[in-house]
Chains A and B, each alone.
Chain A
């Protein structure tokens, strides 16, 4: 048997790889493969998903009860270490004290030899799926093997079966399948991709076949999300292609698998570089502004508030931002740029139409919107209003205006 493995992973739109709670792992010496989707609303789901897949593929002797206990212990140690850090957030500590748990789906696949033949065995819990597509498939609905603990009719929602990182409050019943190994491809994938796969059927594996690397995968995800064919969720896939070579042993001939930790590192570096470039840009702008100011001073003009220089000072004085905050800004700026490009066209149109309107309409500025208010002793006044009248506060027209213009808020959007 010759085996080729491909694996790709990405986060939700506008989130970082760091935020992604999907995980996969494989171990060639054990011939084991696993994928897991940490439930978004649970506590440290990505640690839980990570522990599950890595411990599962590395385990030799398999005792399920012990496996879960070991994983739970590992998760708790990692989470306790985070909670005990001096900079742990109040909501992290609260959730830890409330004994909240991490939840995750799971699919595991292993190959094993019995007498002289190779078999595969898989188990699944939750809305992550295993599909096996035989090499010469003719009828998808009849020949594609599907494994998950989702019941027919399959509806994807946010309430999957899961393994819990605390106690025995797992949800759902694990499903198993076992068969003789034949040529074809196993696809292990988390829910968004599984939903897409089931909708696309034959098209799906043809599309998957063309991915050569992580970038191809990311491009595909962007396109399918844009076309509303793929849900905006963390997405991970592990494909294991089996080819007969008439030999007795398994040979791994290709591994093209993205490592989430590497993706996080690369993205972190991009964010740091972008931060540095931003700082350098500010320094250059400040230098330019200073030289302009000096010229202006020479010309005895009063310089206006040096907003940019203040910004730079603030930037310097600020404590070093964490990776998360920087990441948020990085993504925000990327998105803002995209939106501002789109907005430019709209703004120009609006500007033109406003200009046109101004020319046509007389000014309405004279209208007094802050009309004087006179307290009336209206007999209909209810109890509440009597109390309000008792407060004897002045009804000055100036108080009608909000104390902050709405732009202060809309600037934050």
Chain B
């Protein structure tokens, strides 16, 4: 059995998650729950980091078992690639951008529900502007991964979670932009580390026919899905149990992507991608 991408996150060997966030103008399109795509994306990332904090704290202390980079593309200008924030988990916990007050219903332990106040930390704000320089964002992520592995060669292989609502576009032809993105993705997926190759998981937000975790490009009906197939890693064995637990079909050759994800699928996919492949935490 292949043991790649199976190393546990720990304080001694933290994991590394890079969220690549499409912040192009089209992310302003409405999506779900009265939110547009960028707002919903920010909500999901904020919740995901909050969840990582909850699962890596012992009550009063957050353990640095993961380093997180949030890299935006588009956004601040047409072809920008921005480091929105990069830090160890405890730093996110110590200094969120701001806090929102929420009312939440939880079990009262006796079969009923009670409403409680909950503070929701905000780490990323929604942005929708500019084009979709995905290849540049992937190139930047590649630099980060190389820097990470140089300093931490024995840590778990890094994971990129790319969230976008369209094909790469930088003002030139789409084919060129796509080929550039495919080329950089392959370079990233060929980087070797003690824990195997870095992983790229892709989530596309949209409203057409949904595809996820396919094994062959020929099964896919549209260019969008075919592109995602090409820029996504094969789901490692160590992630398959977790994928199945989240109702994804994890077949031997499945690639880690969803296209035209609805809100529920989007959330499930991000939870899968940021899980480190299992619930195991050393």
Total of A-B residue pairs, C-beta within 8 Å: 204
Which of A11-19, A109-117, A140-148, A353-361 is the interface stretch? A11-19
Contact between A402 and B151, CB atoms less than 8 A apart: no
Is there a chain A Cβ closer than 8 Å to B161's Cβ?
no
Is there a chain A Cβ closer than 8 Å to B252's Cβ?
no
Is there a chain B Cβ closer than 8 Å to A301's Cβ?
no
Is there a chain A Cβ closer than 8 Å to B118's Cβ?
yes
| Complex Cα spacing A177 to B91, Å | 47
Chain B's nearest CB lies how many Å from the CB of A391?
4
Count residues of chain A with CB under 8 A from any CB of chain B: 72
| Complex Cα spacing A41 to B56, Å | 7
The one of A41, A45, A97 that contacts B281, using a Cβ cutoff of 8 Å: A41
Is there a chain B Cβ closer than 8 Å to A378's Cβ?
yes
Contact between A388 and B83, CB atoms less than 8 A apart: no
B142-165: contact bitstring with A at CB < 8 Å (1 yes, 0 no)?
011001101110000000000001
- Whether A13 touches B170, Cβ cut-off 8 Å, given contacts A158-B280, A393-B77, is no
- Whether A89 touches B60, Cβ cut-off 8 Å, given contacts A157-B280, A394-B77, A410-B148, is yes
Chain B's nearest CB lies how many Å from the CB of A276?
23
Chain A's nearest CB lies how many Å from the CB of B223?
9
Contact between B171 and A376, CB atoms less than 8 A apart: yes
Contact between A409 and B147, CB atoms less than 8 A apart: yes
A83-119: contact bitstring with B at CB < 8 Å (1 yes, 0 no)?
0000011111111011100100000000000000000
Contact between A399 and B77, CB atoms less than 8 A apart: yes
Which of A26-34, A194-202, A253-261, A379-387 is the interface stretch? A379-387
A362-376: contact bitstring with B at CB < 8 Å (1 yes, 0 no)?
000000000001111
Binding site for B on A (CB under 8 A): 12-15, 19, 21, 38, 40-41, 43-47, 79, 82, 88-95, 97-99, 102, 157-159, 166-167, 231-233, 324, 328, 339, 343, 373-376, 378, 380-385, 387-388, 390-391, 393-396, 399-404, 406-410, 412-413
Binding site for A on B (CB under 8 A): 8, 10-12, 24-26, 28-29, 50, 53-55, 57-64, 67, 69, 74, 76-83, 86-88, 90, 93, 96, 99, 104, 106-109, 116-119, 121, 129-133, 136, 140, 143-144, 147-148, 150-152, 165-167, 169-174, 279-282
| Chain A to chain B contacts (Cβ below 8 Å), 24 pairs | A12-B12, A19-B58, A19-B61, A19-B63, A40-B58, A94-B118, A94-B119, A98-B104, A99-B106, A166-B109, A167-B109, A378-B173, A381-B169, A384-B29, A384-B166, A385-B169, A387-B28, A388-B26, A388-B169, A403-B76, A403-B80, A406-B143, A406-B147, A412-B86
